[in-house]
A and B are shown apart, each in its own frame.
Chain A
Amino acid sequence: MELFFAGILLFIAGGVLSEFANFRYKPAVSVIFSVSGTILTGYTALLSLTCRCTPDITFLLNFPFGETRFAMDSLSALFVFIFSVIYLPVSIYSTGYLKHYNNGRKERLHYICLSLLISSMMLVVTVTNSIMFLVLWEIMSLSSFFLVSFENEKSEVYDAAINYLIAMHVGVVFIISAFAFLSFRSGGNTFDDFRIVLNSGKGIADLLFFISFIGFGTKAGFFPFHSWLPKAHPAAPSHVSALMSGLMIKTGIYGIMRFLILIDSPSKTIGFTLLAISSFTAIFGIIYAMNDRDMKKQLAYSSIENIGIIGMALSVGILGYAYGNIYMAVLGFTGAILHIINHSLFKTLLFLAAGSVYLNTHSKNMESMGGLIKKLPYTASFFIIAAVAISGLPPLNGFIGEFFIYYSMLSGIKTSSVLFVTMIAGFSLLALIGAIAIIAFTKSAGVIFLGSSRSGDTDNYHEKKSMIIPMFFIAALMFLIGVLPDKVIGFTSGISALLVKTDATAEFNKIISLASDLSIALIVFFAILAVITIFRAAMYRREKIEYFKTWDCGYQGGTPRIQYTASSFSADAVSLTKPILITRKELIRPEGIFPGKSGIRTENPDVSDLIITLFIKKWIEWFFNKVSVIQSRTAQQYVLYVIVFIVVTFIWVIWIK
């Protein structure tokens, strides 16, 4: 655990030192400190995962905190390990990415915020003191706020950042109230104190779970608290979006899982409600992702979808536990953990690839791209690999997580009739989500990278080594997890054991043998693929090849603009999603004998934004209008308030005490 704190100190030292370093050496300083820091923290987490022990360290702090203990049980270790593994390539990537901005002042603040963000994320998942948790949570929100507002001279970036800040603070209110109630009732500040209160009655656990769920769900991006995600991710620089989408939103999931561990037997109510919310979140996210034409916004919506899938898996685990089917519970939690790991990997990779595209095209609108695979071959390959993985397709890591979620649902259908119906419903929804994800990601991979360029000028496009190597590192990890799932699952046994509160070794061994069967099958697939590829390549060398233009059915005047666009690609499928996807169309018709300008503009406002602007904002305005009566702006009246207050206090003290 001392090594872990040494790592955290290295992060902060790196941030502070790069503040003072010469402009030219700044990236180098940052990289050296971040890399060495992640090695230390990752090593500690790996040790804790393998020995299934809980290293800890206690600080005696002043008044509000008291005794502050940082402990790394399997759950914390998993998150710290993911954070370390992903931050390592991202910190290298960030130096390459930032070179394009040449803005020394901003870059300086940037490294400090990055180091604060990663250290607060790692500390927030290890701390056991609720007050310290809230402080670190706040540091995390604030540092990421400054990172999002990197290009704050653009008004949309500024708006998105402010929106993010407000969403985070509305969310944290719910966490504070849950914690305040718990610490009031228990008289202590630590999570262990909370455990007793949470298990004192059935209703209390449910109520507090849902109150804190609003807070954690805002961070994670559950519907309807998600609307900051599709604004903040496109606004932030790409490595920051990668950190936020791949890692930071997982701290929300961590909070939910921590609550599930504290509650001895989560009720069926929690399970079913979470299942309903998560499946809607997932469907909602993927439908918006399928429709969106902004490449980073699409990725943000797909994060919402994946958070939904993680939530579905968690709720299957809860239901399995509540119905006494431990095998189903272990499978569900294992699926959730695998999907957490996998999503951090492929979402980070997608954002990094999108960043590499953005630096060249200076645009996020995929309609103006096309054919980038010729200029950015590595970026394109990594994007396609990650797109395959995020659609949940074998043989990559995305499939492994989804396989176990499917399987956990299947293993529950014999338990009870209610579970049969809900699990089959979840099962088919997951299939639908997967099918729509294929539409969404064939669209972005195809329109951004394949075909020919829609905007023409691509001559000076290039990619940099410092940005390619980190992407390669993540892609390699994805292949490893995809082919060797049993090894990864071995590490996660401790976490599932924490969540189901028993050791469940027998169930776990069954899962591991299932995973090794799966890995053998996937290796067979690779063998078949290799044989056919070699056969085809040998044939390719012999055959006579002629290069010609694409078949155009005899039409000679074709330009790249006649290619299928992103919106036309998804138009058919989008037409079926009306109740969920709101489309606003603005049509300017050609009018008169000599028609002037004409055109069409469509936008898809987010449902939860509409709810906020149409209803909640109105209620709040109405309420404060009523309250403003007491605000008369005359000094006499305020003096009167003071006197009334003092009198009331006197009476209260004398009569009641």
Chain B
Amino acid sequence: MKIILIANVLIILVLPLLFTGIINKTKAFWGGRKGASIFQPYFDFIKLMKKGEVISRVTSPVFFLFPVISLSTVIFAGLLLPVIDHAAVISFEGSFILFVYILALGKFFTIIGALDTGSSFEGMGAAREAFFTSIPEPAFFILLGSISIFGEINSFENLFGLYHAGSELSLLIVVLIVIILSIILLVEGSRIPIDDPNTHLELTMIHEVMVLDNSGPSLALIQYGSAMKIMILSSLILDFIIPYSAGPMRYSVYYACGLISAAFTIGTIETLTARFRIVRVPDFIFTIVGMSLMVMFIILLYYYGGRR
């Protein structure tokens, strides 16, 4: 058990940049380019860590603190999440509430960190981030609240007992959950079609514009944190897909394949689609509220059908 937990911590700390590397490689592959090595993000990270920094005179200590706080929240969220063998490092009843709220703490400080520079671009990005990421939260809670009816207790580890339900309906629920969580991943991870991490026009950015003034080590921490966030959310999706009954060894293999295909899918989506116009983004995000309500009603019928 201890080995699995240590492996979990290592996966959360080490793999995120590799995950980004695979996404970039996929995009290069579809674009017909050779592309950078999948280890390139590590080299970038080390290079940024060695650099100096340019800091705006307008900023206050909040600007220094926000990359630190947002990275620690993501690491902590990773510890709460079951990675290999459905085992989380920190696990207690209701831990998924803490998971959502600790990520929200990171968001809070990223937003005020962006406002700290006094730049109108960063204010705009902050406003968009605050608004767009506020929509998935209720959907996520409807989803997790509804499926927690299957687990004996409401901890994260026991949420994934859907396969025990063992019927066509549970398969349907899993499919819906994967779609919903994928959209949440795209929103929270600021990927195409919600946001374009590689655009060059500040006016159209969301997440990337919030960190315009960060450079050197603080930028490295921010990029590392957002890569980790995407990987954690992918692991959350995998938790629903990988069967409960797989042992640790088989689970690790499934998990590795799952992560690679998740990165591949994200890269493919980014190649195939263009990003939405900003005004269309809320409509897109609202679809997940509808879908999680669907999950809720399926579970209502499934669990209470035929009895009051």
> Which A residues are within 8 Å of any B CB, using their own CB?
370-371, 373-374, 377, 380, 384, 388, 391-395, 399, 402-403, 406-407, 409-411, 413-414, 416-417, 420-421, 423-424, 427-432, 434-436, 438-439, 441-443, 445-447, 449-452, 514, 517-518, 520-521, 524-525, 528-529, 532-533, 536, 539-540, 543-553, 558, 560, 562-564, 568-573, 576
Contacts and interface: CB of A to CB of B under 8 A. Distances in A.
B72 interface: yes
Contacts of B117: 451, 550-551
Contact of A442 (B59, B68, B102, B111): B111
Of all A-B residue pairs in the complex, the 3 with the closest CB atoms, nearest first, are A564-B123, A446-B115, A544-B52
Contacts of A424: 142, 145-146, 296
B104 interface: yes
A532 B109 CA distance: 15
Interface string B68-104: 1101110110011000000000101111011011101
A53 B95 CA distance: 35
Contacts of A411: 154
Contact of A576 (B97, B154, B282): B282
B4 interface: no
Contact of A551 (B130, B145, B213): B213
A540 B154 contact: no
Nearest to A543: B52
A543 B202 contact: no
B120 interface: yes
Given A532-B71, A572-B127, A431 B57 contact: no
A438 B138 contact: no
A434 B107 CA distance: 12
B127 A450 contact: no
Contact of B76 (A371, A528, A540, A560): A528
B115 A393 contact: no
Contacts of B108: 388, 391, 393, 438, 441-442
B142 A568 contact: no
B123 A546 contact: no
Contacts of B141: 406, 427-428, 430-431
A439 B53 contact: no
B46 interface: no
A571 B278 CA distance: 14
B62 interface: yes
A446 B65 CA distance: 14
A546 B76 contact: no
A548 B57 CA distance: 6
A540 B216 CA distance: 10
Contact of A570 (B60, B118, B127, B216): B127
A449 B72 CA distance: 24
Contact of A438 (B93, B130, B282): B130
B139 interface: yes
Interface stretch (B175-183, B187-195, B237-245, B300-308): B300-308
Could you tell me the dominant secondary structure of chain A's interface residues? helix
A371 B121 CA distance: 17
Contacts of B217: 536, 539-540, 543
Given A438-B104, A451-B58, A564 B92 contact: no
B168 to A, nearest CB: 21
Contacts of A402: 101
B8 interface: no
Most buried by A among B98, B121, B135, B139: B98
Contact of B55 (A417, A545, A562): A545
A447 to B, nearest CB: 7
Contacts of B65: 533
A573 B116 contact: no
Contacts of B73: 525
Given A546-B52, A564-B124, A450 B138 contact: no
Most buried by B among A407, A435, A518: A435
B200 to A, nearest CB: 11
Given A435-B133, A546-B54, A406 B94 contact: yes
Given A371-B118, A442-B112, A435 B142 contact: no
A8 to B, nearest CB: 40
B68 A536 contact: yes
A564 B68 contact: no
Contacts of B130: 438-439, 442-443, 569, 573
Given A393-B101, A417-B300, A438-B107, A528 B118 contact: no
Contact of A446 (B51, B59, B116): B116
25 contacts: A407-B93, A407-B154, A409-B145, A417-B308, A420-B149, A434-B137, A435-B137, A436-B134, A439-B134, A442-B115, A446-B112, A446-B115, A514-B94, A521-B90, A524-B79, A525-B72, A533-B72, A536-B67, A543-B216, A545-B54, A550-B57, A562-B120, A570-B127, A572-B127, A576-B282
B138 A548 contact: no
B101 A410 contact: no
Interface in B34-54: 49, 51-54
B56 A551 contact: yes
A384 B104 contact: no
Contact of B148 (A374, A403, A410, A544): A410
A299 to B, nearest CB: 17
Contacts of A450: 60, 62, 112, 115-116, 118
B251 interface: no
Contacts of B296: 421, 424
B30 interface: no
B105 interface: yes
Most buried by A among B131, B282, B296: B131
B72 A528 contact: yes
B133 to A, nearest CB: 7
B75 A528 contact: yes
B25 to A, nearest CB: 29
B65 to A, nearest CB: 8
B104 A434 contact: yes
A308 to B, nearest CB: 16
A403 B123 contact: no
B216 A416 contact: no
B254 interface: no
A411 B94 CA distance: 10
A451 B118 contact: yes
Given A529-B72, A564-B126, A548 B93 contact: no
A140 to B, nearest CB: 36
A427 B145 CA distance: 7
Contacts of B123: 446, 451, 563-564, 568-569
Contacts of A406: 94, 97, 141
A356 to B, nearest CB: 17
Given A410-B145, A410-B154, A533-B68, A431 B56 contact: no
A403 B300 contact: no
Most buried by A among B79, B80, B102, B112: B112
B38 to A, nearest CB: 26
Given A420-B149, A564-B120, A547 B55 contact: yes
Nearest to A573: B131
Contacts of B67: 536
Most buried by B among A403, A428, A430: A428
Given A528-B72, A536-B217, 9 more contacts: A373-B62, A407-B93, A407-B154, A414-B149, A431-B138, A450-B118, A517-B93, A521-B98, A539-B217
